[in-house]
A and B are shown apart, each in its own frame.
Chain A
Amino acid sequence: MKSTFLIQRYVPEVDSAPHMERYEMDLWDEATILDGLLAIKDQRDDSLAFRRACRHAICGSCTMVVNGYSKLVCKTAIASEVKRGRKELRITPMRTMRVVKDLVVDMAPFWKHFRDMEPWLQPDPKKVPPPNEEYRVTPEKLAPSRKDLNCIQCAVCVSDCGVAEVDSHFAGPMALAKAHRFVTDPRDSKRKERLQALVDLGLWDCAHAYNCMECPKHVDPAMAIADLRRISVQAGITNNLGARHSNVFTKSVGRTGRLDESMLVLQTVGLTNIPGQIRNGPQGLRMLMKGKLPLPMVQQERVDNPKEVRRIYEAVASGEER
């Protein structure tokens, strides 16, 4: 099967800027993109630099952007891209990280986010079993963290994350999923401290883009982040903008069945936060003049039966096991 590889090359000692190089290859039908890169290296240009090791999606080395989407190239068949109607395989390095050479990027910031989670078990010393015994943990208790274990730190999620792309402070989906693994580990004793630390590490900065749900190992980081938020709220870690926003939103819908958008902005900023309200003034005025600013509460849309909505809120609250 013939295919065209368009690969971003950059050799710092030689090139002033990255540039694309074209390689026409003829490989077997089931060949993966990694097979193609290895063949290019062997047959055309031994200087092509990329990370790779296991070839079967367990080591996490080979993440690259393929036609705009981050992938593990060892498990991406060339045929799958061709089937999508892509005539060329455009291969560029992972996003959010500085390019070192060709497709190799500097992953130090990525590993730093990992380290920021204090990703080791921190048990209560009084509860550690004797050396010849394990903690008794039932399969049910292990279930919440099971998907987090799949993570191979490949960075596909971070490379595609819209927030990570512009905000280097954001811990990112991989690190937050790792945090989730420890927050839900029944043997860990630092749940509250971890959750508190996550507020500053970006727990509420996830924008629900769900790019990370394309995780090649089915970690589903976006769901781990949502779960961390739920657990944080239940643990009372609510003195932050994100939790406040979430709380105000939920209460607003509980009153009328619909979201009072204007009130949401006012209350999230804080009704007594005068500087904050003033900062939002110009935008509010702009929207008001376009007829796009319903007055809070007064012009708020209501569902036909708000009482039914309130009943649901009460029923769910009272039926809660968690």
Chain B
Amino acid sequence: MKYAYFTGCVAKGTCPELHHSTVELAKVLGIDLWEMTDATCCGAGVIRDENPELQIALNARTFAMAEASGMDIVNICSTCQQNLGQDNRAMREDPALLERTNGVLAQSGLHYSGKTQVKNLLWVLVGDYGLDRLKEKVVRPLTGLRVASYYGCQLLRPVEDTGYDDPDNPTSFDKLVEALGATPVDYAGKTRCCGFHILTVNEDTSTKMAVKRLEEAEEAEADIMVTPCPLCHTSLDAYQPRATRMQGSSVRMPVLHLSQLVGLAVGLESSDVQLNKLMVSPQGALSRV
């Protein structure tokens, strides 16, 4: 299994543990990752707010490079999934747009014909790799660990852009958690927003949202939350001390990256997945496993 690995910006910036654990996990699972070091930021919907065609052109360049390599794209961020997915679909549905965009790419010697598929790591594991195969790789079953799978929002909506699970009743992440031997927990916030995108613009509202998600997981007696998105992770983990203080909450909930959780289950050590970079330590919860 080979993929063009789209890291996104945050995994190479403020969430280095995500990139690190993904690479280590892929090695154990036997997935070949070609890191797209020339691929730009996906635009995050922010460049789209400024200039939709600019964001599309940047992503078209990424798709063209992947298409030339013959590999589908795997990403490790919900926002990347949504933005790459939406721009990909826009070009597929509007031939005039695709032509215009290829006009821009031509001077770089690139051309995109619309064939690249974009998949989040979660979809790759559950779909392409398969949960049965994953189960076989589990050497450290996470028995007894109550996990709140945090789907968040941009991984699921709009479903035409993300293309995988039912936004109203997603089950893939929970099934993966089960395959690792852990216990998925149902809770009110699992597909509701963490607030990351307005963290700089309206910190009060953003942290209110994050705290709500953490409290909802706590109310359902989860031991940890897991997320396939570094933006959600930043909001829920890196900002957890600040957010809880700002909102007067006493919630304490460790939050892992998807690749960290899977990595631990398939035998990686906590140093391999850089658990020490988490703001809220999961040691207590994990030691019970």
> Residues of A at under 8 Å CB distance from B?
67-69, 84-86, 162-163, 165-167, 170, 204-211, 213-214, 226, 229-230, 233, 241-242, 245-247, 249-250, 253, 257-262, 264-265, 268-269, 282-283, 286-287, 290-294, 301, 303-305, 308-309, 311-313, 315-317, 319-320
Contacts and interface: CB of A to CB of B under 8 A. Distances in A.
B51 A259 contact: no
Nearest to A229: B49
B73 to A, nearest CB: 15
Interface of B: 9-10, 12-17, 37-41, 43-54, 57-58, 61, 79, 82, 100, 103-105, 107-108, 153-154, 157-158, 166-169, 188, 191-193, 195-198, 200-202, 204-206, 208-209, 212, 238-239, 241-242, 276-277, 279
Contacts of A167: 202, 204-205, 208
A85 B17 CA distance: 36
A119 B166 CA distance: 35
Contact of A208 (B10, B40, B103, B154): B154
B157 A210 contact: yes
B101 to A, nearest CB: 9
A285 B266 CA distance: 33
Contact of A230 (B41, B51, B154, B276): B51
Contact of B209 (A69, A165, A291, A320): A165
A182 B77 CA distance: 35
Given A207-B195, A316-B104, A258 B40 contact: yes
Contact of A261 (B10, B17, B46, B168): B10
A18 to B, nearest CB: 15
Contact of B12 (A245, A258, A312): A258
A165 B41 CA distance: 30
Given A167-B208, A312-B54, A209 B192 contact: yes
A260 B242 CA distance: 22
Contacts of B38: 257, 303-305, 308
Contacts, number: 202
B9 A207 contact: no
B68 to A, nearest CB: 14
A312 B37 contact: no
Q: Which of B14, B49, B54, B212 has the most CB of A within 10 A?
A: B49
B13 A250 contact: no
Contacts of B212: 165-166
Nearest to A265: B200
A313 B54 contact: yes
Classify the interface of chain A: helix, strand, loop or mixed: helix
21 contacts: A162-B193, A162-B195, A165-B209, A167-B208, A204-B201, A205-B201, A209-B153, A209-B193, A229-B49, A241-B202, A249-B46, A249-B47, A250-B47, A250-B51, A258-B13, A258-B40, A262-B14, A290-B277, A305-B38, A308-B38, A312-B54
Given A230-B52, A282-B242, A213 B158 contact: yes
Contact of A249 (B39, B44, B153, B191): B44
The CB with the most chain B CB atoms within 10 A, among A67, A208, A262, A320, is that of: A208
A253 B100 CA distance: 21
Contacts of B44: 249, 259
Top 10 closest pairs, chain A to chain B, by CB: A162-B193, A209-B193, A304-B38, A166-B208, A229-B49, A210-B157, A209-B153, A259-B9, A257-B40, A84-B169
